[in-house]
Amino acid sequence: MKALFSAQVVLAAVVAACGWTASAQIKPEDSRAVNTAALDEVPLAVDPHKYQIGAEDILFVKVWREPDFTFPVAVRPDGKITIPLLGEIDAAGTTPIELTGTLTGRLSQYLNNPNVSIFVTDVRSKKYYIDGEVNRPGSYPLVTNITILEALSHSGGFKDFANTKKIRILRAGKINYFNFKDVTTGKRLEQNITVQNGDHIIVP
């Protein structure tokens, strides 16, 4: 019995020591490096040459070997972001590539050859909506140019009694119609228009 108790004490001590060693090896800078590395592995969802940044979009600013200038930032409703030393920078209406150039030029006053990258990690400024007889109604980010047919493919399919011949697209006070059966059989393809920001697609 004494031998069993001693073995348990030794085992507990070893587990505690291992836990202390592991926790001691995880430093804040290591955590930051892990998070940054994970971000690098995420493919860009937007075209950095074409996508126009908008209010409420979430960006990740990365300056190589400069942790003080590497952080996520939300575009404010006024279209600006705040950068240390630089203050307010206009972001809305620019592409990630254009904003990268702006920050590179401004940071060059304080850093030697800054290597700047701008990632759009969450699109919140451009959305479309799908309502009605679909399995996943709601709002969807408009990341790239897509058609009505492509947008509907994100909604999880139609419910049993959906009228797919009379789908409506509400846009700026006007109504466009979309016949799913016609388009998917190669007819009246002009109905398959490009989705615009704020479109409401309604499946009756």
Could you please state the CATH topology (level 3) that the domain comprising 127-203 is classified under. Answer: Outer membrane lipoprotein wza fold like (3.10.560)
Closest C-alpha among 63, 41, 58 to residue 121? 58
Question: How confident is the model at residue 35, as a pLDDT?
Answer: 44
> Which residues, in sequence order, are bridge partners of residue 140?
128
> Residue 124: which pLDDT band, with cuts at 50, 70 and 90?
very high
> Residue 198: which pLDDT band, with cuts at 50, 70 and 90?
very high
Could you please state the CATH topology (level 3) that the domain comprising 31-122 is classified under. Answer: wza like fold (3.30.1950)
Evaluate whether 163 touches 180 at the Cβ level (below 8 Å): no
Mean pLDDT of 135-146: 95
- Give the domain ranges of the chain: 31-122, 127-203
List, in sequence order, the alpha helices (H) in 108-186.
Answer: 148-152, 180-184
* Rounded Cα–Cα distance for residues 31 and 10 (Å): 31
The pLDDT > 90 percentage for the chain reads 77
* Rounded Cα–Cα distance for residues 9 and 13 (Å): 6
Q: How do 174-178 and 167-171 pair as beta strands? A: antiparallel
Q: Which residue has the higher pLDDT, 42 or 176?
A: 176
